[in-house]
Amino acid sequence: MTARQQWSVLGVTVAGLGLLFLIANHFVGRELSLVTIGSRAPDFRAETVAARPEPKNFAAYRGSVVLLNIWATWCAPCRVEMPSLETLQGGFGPGGLRIVAVSIDSAGSDSTIRAFVRQYGLTFEILHDPSGRIQDLYQTTGVPETFVIARDGVIRKKVIGADDWASEGNRSLIAQLLREPRS
């Protein structure tokens, strides 16, 4: 085999491997890029549960410290942690914390979600994603799952299951993130 033929075989092999990588990335890309501490928060889309729903996405919160909570009205652990989220909102909302709770309840559940919000006296932003697409984007395993996202859009904490968001450790983390300069 001549040198030219060897280079041709090598070129075809490299091109084939590159194509194989692109195809694999398309089909299993989700598994290759995990959404976890240290990764960038994926952009999501959801709607407010107001009488006239408005679309929202993660870009609306860019530059803010965000606590993103993925939950549902039928979820018992979600009900357990909501009061501590409200306590955190009362303490840090005026200082710039944006709590965004995205319900994955099925389509047509807006009135149920609004009743839930009234029952718990929630004052932070409640959104609805009936498609559940946010679960795929954030690779959740269930509800609730919560992501604390710094101003630079990087996930700093991930919690699977209910947590006491009014605890000293969580309050310290939020305070620290709020002190970091805007990027």
In this predicted structure, what is the pLDDT of residue 8?
73
Residue pLDDT, tens place only, 15-40? 667 677 667 655 655 455 899 999 99
Cis peptide before 144 (omega within 30 of 0): yes
pTM of the model: 0.83
According to DSSP, the residues that pair with 102 across neighbouring strands are 70, 127
Q: Assign 7 a pLDDT band (cuts: 50, 70, 90).
A: confident
Residue pLDDT, tens place only, 92-115? 999 999 999 999 999 999 999 999
Q: Assign 4 a pLDDT band (cuts: 50, 70, 90).
A: confident
In this predicted structure, what is the pLDDT of residue 140?
98
In this predicted structure, what is the pLDDT of residue 13?
77
Mean pLDDT, the chain, rounded, equals: 92
Residue pLDDT, tens place only, 40-76? 999 999 999 998 999 999 999 999 999 999 999 999 9
What does the pLDDT average to over 122-143?
98
| Helix (H) or strand (E) segment spanning residue 25 | helix 3-32
Q: Assign 3 a pLDDT band (cuts: 50, 70, 90).
A: confident
In this predicted structure, what is the pLDDT of residue 30?
47
Q: Assign 136 a pLDDT band (cuts: 50, 70, 90).
A: very high
